Amino acid sequence: MRKLSLLFAGALMGASAMSLVYGAPGSAANAAGSETYKQLAIFGDIFERVRAQYVTPPDDKSLVENAINGMLASLDPHSSYMNAEQAQDMRVQTKGEFGGLGIEVTMENDLVKVITPIDDTPAAKAGVLAGDYIAKIDGEEVRGLTLNDAVEKMRGPVNTPIKLTILRQGADKPIELTVVRDIIKVKAVKFRVENDVGYMKITSFTEKTYDDLENAIETIKKQVPNDKLKGYVLDLRLNPGGLLDQAVSVSDAFLKRGEIVSTRGRDPKDVTRFDSKPKQNDDINGKPLIVLVNGGSASASEIVAGALQDLRRATVVGTQSFGKGSVQTIIPLGENGALRLTTALYYTPSGKSIQGKGITPDIKVEQPLPPDLQGRDLTRGESDLKGHIKGADEGTTGSGSAAYVPPEPKDDLQLIYAEQLLRGQKTDPAFPPNPDKAVLNQ
């Protein structure tokens, strides 16, 4: 995307690529050897010397948190410690609903710019418009704040008021609006009908994703008669991932049978398999399906793309995906936050790991960059991350590709190509796929 945008408050922020599996507090660790305790004694000695002799008195809490994060960062880019506030933010993000105003925002010219107010939310009802600039929040200047700082200030308990000072084109003076926070439910699936094609874009895998997908499918079925509907496009581009169980449920919606994904931990015997529920027909009645991916498709979105590709249920179109094939377990630490720890790698039905490799599309379609972005590196990939776990199938080319989707559908060559395939205006040996040629792990 051209600019970072956030749904406040509590949206999935940025391009974090992670699958989440909630876990209970971990089991007892293996007993440490005497050498380990010697090293811990050295750490304790250094900690005390820093506290006693550093030029300015350091904050003990920050020292400990940074030491913990330093240890976890040395493992891989996706393991980390979350303090109580960060853990709560993560829970809000994955839940898919939060107390806020209901606007999508970005930072522009040191002010918070409203991209769009969400329909039927406090912001929309109060008169906030797309293109408005928020100059003050409860009387405090926005200039000098980061976007995250501004979003944090706009968060708050339901039924509490917040005063926004807005600059609007055409208005001769700032506009003061008071907005009362309410529960905002973020739609994880955006959809529309493109004449005779159903288009569904999954933006993230939260607790509401599967339900939103089912609603999208049923609405499309009502809008287009079955004999007129050519098929569906499932857009997973710029999708950073989310909950593993939701990825499994979304995959299951398009399948009648078969393994969706397996996870494998440190112990070779620690293998968990997730299978589709056997049924007579899938949720789209066997209609043709095309999945769109690019360098912004990571983690849970790659699970879906990999399952539908290996089982030959869908044709994958676009460019190489991000390549994040690891699973993080969230281990609660009570009032002290939570530990996000990489505990397993996941594998597609064919038994392949996408870690550091990604999903290779059946049909590669490049999306040209607009003139204002040409010359900039928008490539995103797990293999480029420092300290990433090297995947079993990772090659010298690595993973990832450009993470860019045009804001206007008329400029979206990957979407246009998918729709042309569904309508028979283009042909390719990879479409439609043959389920009888599914690639499975033997």
Catalytic residue annotation: 299, 310, 324
DSSP state of 159: T
Cα 248 from Cα 259, distance rounded (Å): 10
Neighbouring CB atoms inside 10 A of 412's CB total 18
Cα 31 from Cα 393, distance rounded (Å): 33
Cα 326 from Cα 388, distance rounded (Å): 10
CA angle 221, 225, 226 (to 5 degrees): 80
371 contacts: CB under 8 Å, gap ≥ 6 = none
Kindly calculate the radius of gyration of the chain based on its CA atoms and give it in whole angstroms.
Answer: 24
Q: Residue 326 class from Cβ within 10 Å (0-12 exposed, 13-18 middle, 19+ buried)?
A: buried
248: nearest Cα among 277, 269, 288: 277
Tally helices (H) and strands (E) across the chain: 9, 24
Q: Give the H or E element holding residue 425.
A: none
Which residue type occupies 415?
L
Residue 204 in contact with residue 299, Cβ under 8 Å? no
54: helix, strand or coil? coil
330 DSSP β-pair partners: 22, 340
351 contacts: CB under 8 Å, gap ≥ 6 = 262, 440, 441, 442
177 DSSP β-pair partners: 164
Cα 325 from Cα 436, distance rounded (Å): 26
Q: Give the H or E element holding residue 167.
A: strand 161-167
